[in-house]
Amino acid sequence: MSAIIEIKDLTKEFKVLERREGLKGSLQDLFSRNYKTVRAVDNVSMTIEQGEIVGYLGPNGAGKSTTIKMMTGVLEPTSGTILTNGIVPYKNRSKNAQEIGVVFGQRTQLWWALPLVESFKILKDIYQINDKDYNDMLDLYRSLVDIDPLLHKTVRQMSLGQRTLSDILAAFLHNPKIVFLDEPTIGLDVAMKANIRKLIHALNKEKNTTVILTTHDMGDVDALCQRTVIIDKGKMLYDNDIEQLKKFFGSYRILKVRPTGELETQAESIKNELEGFSVRIMDDWISILVDEEKAGVMDVLGRLQRSYKIKDMQLEEISTEEVIKKIYEGGVN
Amino acid sequence: MKKKDLRFYLRIYFKILAQDLKSKMSYRADFIISTIGMIFTNIAGFVSFWIIFRNFPSINGWSYYEMLFLYGFSLIALTPVQCLFDNNWNLRIAVYSGDFIKYCFRPVNLFFYYQSEVFDIKGLGQLAFGIGTLAYSWHHLGLGFDILMLLKLIVFLISASVVMVALQNAAAATCFWIQNSFYVLDLVTRFKDYAKYPITIFSPVFRFIFTFIMPIAFIAYYPSLVILRPDNIEILSLFSPVIAVVFFWISYKIWMHGALRYNGTGS
């Protein structure tokens, strides 16, 4: 294994116009402008090895897309260095582009009016893929997903799921060293999500392609990533094995209950009853964070049922946001 | 990886073009209606031109057929910008919505890749009209014909086209800096309508503007002088190929500069 991406002290600052309020403010803005510097990415360092699948997580606006734009060469870092495949992406955009594949959420990069196979043929020319590699790749695709019905359909006519699938296939077509997937499963149904995860996993295994995956869906991370990097407000919070993270959070679940009576007083009394648990009111539910290593969810529920009349209950896995909050509170490293 | 030479680009261009035409043909009604629309636009333009000249036999020393020559010349010269660079009109929307970022990830020239996406076939009707008008006026002016004339015509037509392409590139590229760039592009397109008149009919101020600031005089007037008034060529006419190349280069640089500093919207 060798490092394919090396990021060191990476920082990106944007100048943002501070708009004043109201009509008077807008007029003032015309003549004198106040700029504020925002650090979208703040001193991030990491090394990614060839063949890794890295889950790059963080809430909206955390700086994920900005980091990816710098890795793909679209943005120039304010300071710090990036090397992908040993080259500086911003300075060698075209050379870098030859070795990467990118899928950006719901924005297709394929030709809207063309059947998929024609898009593939154009990409074959753009990336100068020879006939053998091209056909081998199509055979591999055939063995992984049912692409033949897709090939002759225009991108315009595809469902969101089919389009995402096609975009991912197109991103891997020239056998790039790194593929960036920005929220590939957003808006898809469960079956399609599973399909796409399977495909990404298989392509990574088969071609040893490095995959950088940004997502909000812990399910994607669970299914694909050996390693996760978590970023919030531009700062790196966590970079480690997924197992490490799971060991810590795998035991946490959120129990939500809705007892009879007034929500607030009930929550207060539950808080007193369950000492050492984090109890909060969230959207008409009383949510209790349960550490299963200390107490089983069923035990907690049983205890509650003795003293309260529970109308309804829900059990939830911990979410990315919840994980980040926990990291802030201190714990994992 | 092989070097990306002109052959590489031509190959990709024709492949995309062929596919684009195929898909356009498949929307038959759309194709027919837009072609008919284009024909009527040209007929209307021609009729209004004709009506003016029923009343004025000549404008500032320019006869009907000479004016017709300019008209035909400008129609032909405007074909490439219409056919090959029509995607400039969509640039503003692509930039605003963030879709432009998809063009940034390919190992090919960004300008080329963006422009290659659209080929507007309607321009070909305009080309046919232009050639017809030019041939008709050519015949009536008794200009004669030989290889040298044809060569001159081709060279100066190309320079004229390149000037228009350059103008449009520069105007479209303003969207990388300002939000309402539609008006800039629209302004340039409206001004190009003045290209078919001899610049001598305008006041000195506009003459200066149309020559040096918004060089629409190079779309028809200066280049066609070489053929129409060979004894009395202005120096700017002879330089129009050079000027065209310079303008194009500048507009390309502006376009690319804007495109490379583009960093998309959030996602």
Contact status of A130 with chain B (Cβ, < 8 Å): no
Nearest CA in chain B to A101: B105
pLDDT of residue B179: 77
**What is the rounded average pLDDT of the residues B18-33?**
79
Name the minimum distance, in Å, from the CA of B242 to any CA of chain A.
Answer: 30
pLDDT of residue B267: 43
**What is the rounded average pLDDT of the residues A73-91?**
89
B105 and A102 within 8 Å at the Cβ level: the answer is yes
Q: Which residues of A touch B120 (CB under 8 A)?
A: none
Task: Indicate if the pLDDT at residue A320 is higher than 80.
Answer: no
Task: Indicate if the pLDDT at residue B27 is higher than 80.
Answer: no
Lowest mean pLDDT among A52-56, A115-119, A248-252, B189-193: A248-252
Contact status of A72 with chain B (Cβ, < 8 Å): yes
Task: Indicate if the pLDDT at residue B266 is higher than 60.
Answer: no
Cα distance between residue A38 and residue A63, in whole Å: 11
- Residue-wise pLDDT for B179-195, tens only, equals 778 888 888 888 887 88
**What is the rounded average pLDDT of the residues B131-153?**
87
Contact status of B257 with chain A (Cβ, < 8 Å): no
CATH topology of domain A3-247: Rossmann fold (3.40.50)
% pLDDT > 90, chain A: 25
B contact test, residue of A125, A126, A168, A182 with most B CBs within 10 A? A126
Task: Indicate if the pLDDT at residue A1 is higher than 60.
Answer: no
ipTM over 0.95: no
Task: Indicate if the pLDDT at residue B178 is higher than 50.
Answer: yes
Contact status of A127 with chain B (Cβ, < 8 Å): yes
Pinpoint the residues of chain A covered by CATH 3.30.70: 251-317
Contact status of A74 with chain B (Cβ, < 8 Å): yes
Residue B263 has its nearest CB partner, among A69, A102, A121, at A69
Q: What is the mean pLDDT of chain B?
A: 85
At residue B253 the predicted structure's pLDDT band, cuts being 50, 70 and 90, is very high
Task: Indicate if the pLDDT at residue A56 is higher than 70.
Answer: yes
User: Which of B58 and A7 is assigned the larger pLDDT?
Assistant: A7
Pinpoint the residues of chain A covered by CATH 3.40.50.300: 3-247
pLDDT of residue B264: 64
Task: Indicate if the pLDDT at residue B56 is higher than 80.
Answer: no
pLDDT of residue A330: 60
Question: What residue spans define the domains of chain B?
Answer: 6-261
Residue B263 has its nearest CB partner, among A74, A107, A127, at A74
pLDDT of residue B2: 57
- Residue-wise pLDDT for B196-207, tens only, equals 888 888 888 888
Contact status of A87 with chain B (Cβ, < 8 Å): no
What is the DSSP track for chain B? Answer: -----HHHHHHHHHHHHHHHHHHHHHSHHHHHHHHHHHHHHHHHHHHHHHHHHHH-SEETTEEHHHHHHHHHHHHHHTHHHHHHSTTHHHHHHHHHHTGGGGGGGSSS-HHHHHHHT---TTHHHHHHHHHHHHHHHHHHHT----HHHHHHHHHHHHHHHHHHHHHHHHHHHGGGT-TTTHHHHHHHHHHGGGGGS-GGGS-HHHHHIIIIIS-GGGTTHHHHHHHH-TTS--HHHHHHHHHHHHHHHHHHHHHHHHHHH------
Task: Indicate if the pLDDT at residue A129 is higher than 80.
Answer: yes
Sole residue written with tokens 């060991």: A247
% pLDDT > 70, chain A: 94
A97 and B99 within 8 Å at the Cβ level: the answer is no
Q: Which residues of B touch A17 (CB under 8 A)?
A: none
A contact test, residue of B119, B256, B263 with most A CBs within 10 A? B263
Contact status of B180 with chain A (Cβ, < 8 Å): no
At residue A302 the predicted structure's pLDDT band, cuts being 50, 70 and 90, is confident
pLDDT of residue A332: 47
% pLDDT > 70, chain B: 97
Contact status of A105 with chain B (Cβ, < 8 Å): yes
Q: Which residues of A touch B1 (CB under 8 A)?
A: 98, 128
- Residue-wise pLDDT for B207-248, tens only, equals 888 888 888 888 888 888 888 887 777 777 888 889 899 999
Facing residues of A213 across strands?
A: A55, A181
Contact status of A90 with chain B (Cβ, < 8 Å): no
Residue B264 has its nearest CB partner, among A69, A108, A121, at A69
**What is the rounded average pLDDT of the residues B167-176?**
91
B107 and A127 within 8 Å at the Cβ level: the answer is yes
Which range is most confident: A199-203, B44-48, B104-108?
A199-203
At residue A257 the predicted structure's pLDDT band, cuts being 50, 70 and 90, is confident
The top-level CATH class assigned to A251-317 is alpha beta
Contact status of A75 with chain B (Cβ, < 8 Å): yes
Contact status of A118 with chain B (Cβ, < 8 Å): yes
**What is the rounded average pLDDT of the residues A122-133?**
92
pLDDT of residue A200: 93
At residue A321 the predicted structure's pLDDT band, cuts being 50, 70 and 90, is low
Task: Indicate if the pLDDT at residue A10 is higher than 50.
Answer: yes
Residue B101 has its nearest CB partner, among A74, A108, A111, at A74
pLDDT of residue B234: 76
Nearest CA in chain B to A60: B267
pLDDT of residue B19: 82
Task: Indicate if the pLDDT at residue A158 is higher than 70.
Answer: yes
A126 and B12 within 8 Å at the Cβ level: the answer is yes
Residue A74 has its nearest CB partner, among B23, B109, B264, at B264
pLDDT of residue A14: 84
A65 and B11 within 8 Å at the Cβ level: the answer is no
Task: Indicate if the pLDDT at residue A135 is higher than 90.
Answer: yes
Sole residue written with tokens 């997580």: A57
Contact status of B106 with chain A (Cβ, < 8 Å): yes
Name the minimum distance, in Å, from the CA of A118 to any CA of chain B.
Answer: 8
